[in-house]
Amino acid sequence: MRERDEGRGMSRRRMLGIGGALGLMAATGLSTAAALARRPSITGAELRSAVPLPPPFQVPLPIPLALTPVSTAGGTDRYEITQREASAEILPGIRTPLWTYEGTFPGPTIESRRGRPVTVTHRNELPVPTVVHLHGGRTPPTSDGYPTDFVLPEGWHDATLHGSAHGMHDPRAVVSKLTRDYTFPLDQRPTLLWYHDHRMDFTAPAIWRGLAGLHIVRDDAEDALGMPEGPRELPLMIADRAFAADGTLAYPALDPTLRERPGVHEPYLAGVLGDVILVNGAPWPVHEVDTARYRLRVLNASNARHYELEAVTDDGRRLDLVQIGADQGLLAAPITHQTLPIAPAERYDVIIDFSGIPVGGRVRLVNRLGSGRTRDVMAFDVARHVTDDSRIPGTLSTDLPTWRRTDAVSVRDFSFRAGRMHGGHGWLIGGLPFDPARADVTTHLGDVEVWRLIADVHHPVHLHLVGFRVLSRSGRPPLPHDAGLKDTISLRPGEAAEIITRFDGYRGRYLFHCHNAEHEDMAMMANIEIS
Ligand code: C2O
Ligand code: CU
Ligand code: CU
CATH number at residue 329: 2.60.40.420
To the nearest whole number, what is the mean pLDDT of the chain? 92
Nearest atom within ligand 1 for CA of residue 525: 2
Question: Are residues 234 and 161 part of one domain?
Answer: no
Query: Does ligand 1 have an atom closer than 6 angstroms to the CB of 133?
Result: yes
Query: Does ligand 1 have an atom closer than 6 angstroms to the CB of 464?
Result: yes
What is the predicted pLDDT for the residue at 158?
59
pLDDT at 36 over 50: no
Residue after which a domain boundary falls, among 324, 349, 384: 384
Is residue 329, in this structure, part of any structural domain at all? yes
Tell me, what DSSP letter sits at residue 260?
S
For 53-75, what is each residue's pLDDT tens digit?
Answer: 999 999 999 999 999 999 999 99
Query: Does ligand 1 have an atom closer than 6 angstroms to the CB of 519?
Result: no
Question: Are residues 453 and 414 part of one domain?
Answer: yes
Termini Cα distance of the chain: 50
Q: Distance from the CA of 485 to the center of ligand 2, in angstroms?
A: 14
Query: Does ligand 1 have an atom closer than 6 angstroms to the CB of 462?
Result: yes
pLDDT at 32 over 70: no
Mean pLDDT of 307-336: 98
Which uninterrupted H or E stretch holds 411?
Answer: strand 410-421
Q: Are 301 and 239 in contact (CB under 8 A)?
A: yes
Question: Are residues 262 and 197 part of one domain?
Answer: no
CA distances from 445 to 62, 238, 355, 470, 530 (A): 41, 35, 48, 21, 6
Question: Are residues 252 and 157 part of one domain?
Answer: no
Residue after which a domain boundary falls, among 170, 196, 223: 223
Is residue 35, in this structure, part of any structural domain at all? no
- Number of structural domains (the chain) is 3
Q: What is the 3-state secondary structure (H, E, C) of 311-346?
A: EEECCCCEECEEEEEECCEEEEEEEEECCEEECCCC
Question: Are residues 299 and 435 part of one domain?
Answer: no
Question: Are residues 359 and 271 part of one domain?
Answer: yes
Question: Are residues 215 and 138 part of one domain?
Answer: yes
For 310-323, what is each residue's pLDDT tens digit?
Answer: 999 999 999 999 99
Question: How does residue 476 score in pLDDT terms, banded at 50, 70 and 90?
Answer: very high
How far is the C-alpha of 164 from the C-alpha of 171, rounded, in Å? 13
Give the contacts of 497 (CB within 8 A, at least 6 positions apart): 452, 453, 454, 470, 471, 472, 473, 474, 478, 489, 491
Q: Can you give the residue range of the structural domain that contains 276? A: 230-384
Question: Are residues 212 and 252 part of one domain?
Answer: no
Is residue 68, in this structure, part of any structural domain at all? no
Residue after which a domain boundary falls, among 207, 223, 239: 223
Question: Are residues 377 and 234 part of one domain?
Answer: yes
Question: ω before 285 within 30° of 0 (cis)?
Answer: no
What is the predicted pLDDT for the residue at 4?
35
Is residue 486, in this structure, part of any structural domain at all? yes
Counting ligands in written order, the one closest to the CA of 347 is: 1
What is the predicted pLDDT for the residue at 42?
86
What is the predicted pLDDT for the residue at 38?
55
Is residue 258, in this structure, part of any structural domain at all? yes
φ and ψ of 477, to 5 deg: -60, 155
Q: Are 510 and 442 in contact (CB under 8 A)?
A: no
Query: Does ligand 1 have an atom closer than 6 angstroms to the CB of 215?
Result: no
Could you tell me where the beta strands, DSSP code E, fall in 28-75?
A: 45-46
Residue type, 292: A
Question: How does residue 169 score in pLDDT terms, banded at 50, 70 and 90?
Answer: confident
Nearest atom within ligand 1 for CA of residue 136: 1
Is residue 7, in this structure, part of any structural domain at all? no
Question: Are residues 250 and 346 part of one domain?
Answer: yes
Is residue 279, in this structure, part of any structural domain at all? yes
Is residue 67, in this structure, part of any structural domain at all? no
Cα of 133 vs its chain's centroid, Å: 12
Could you tell me where the beta strands, DSSP code E, fall in 203-284?
A: 212-218, 233-241, 272-273, 276-279, 282-283
User: Which residue has the CA at smallest separation from atom 1 of ligand 1?
Assistant: 135
What is the predicted pLDDT for the residue at 16?
36
User: Which residue has the CA at smallest separation from atom 3 of ligand 1?
Assistant: 135
pTM of full prediction above 0.75: yes
Question: Are residues 204 and 91 part of one domain?
Answer: yes
What is the predicted pLDDT for the residue at 283?
98
Mean pLDDT of 121-137: 98
For 215-248, what is each residue's pLDDT tens digit?
Answer: 999 999 999 999 999 999 999 999 999 999 999 9
Mean pLDDT of 160-166: 50
CA angle 427, 432, 436 (to 5 degrees): 100
Question: How does residue 168 score in pLDDT terms, banded at 50, 70 and 90?
Answer: low
For 340-349, what is each residue's pLDDT tens digit?
Answer: 999 999 999 9
Q: Distance from the CA of 159 to the center of ligand 2, in angstroms?
A: 29
DSSP string, 77-96: EEEEEEEEEEEE--STT--E
Q: Are 198 and 292 in contact (CB under 8 A)?
A: no
Q: Distance from the CA of 227 to the center of ligand 1, in angstroms?
A: 29
Compute the chain's Rg from CA coordinates. Answer: 22
Q: Are 191 and 138 in contact (CB under 8 A)?
A: no
What is the predicted pLDDT for the residue at 41?
79
Question: Are residues 458 and 505 part of one domain?
Answer: yes
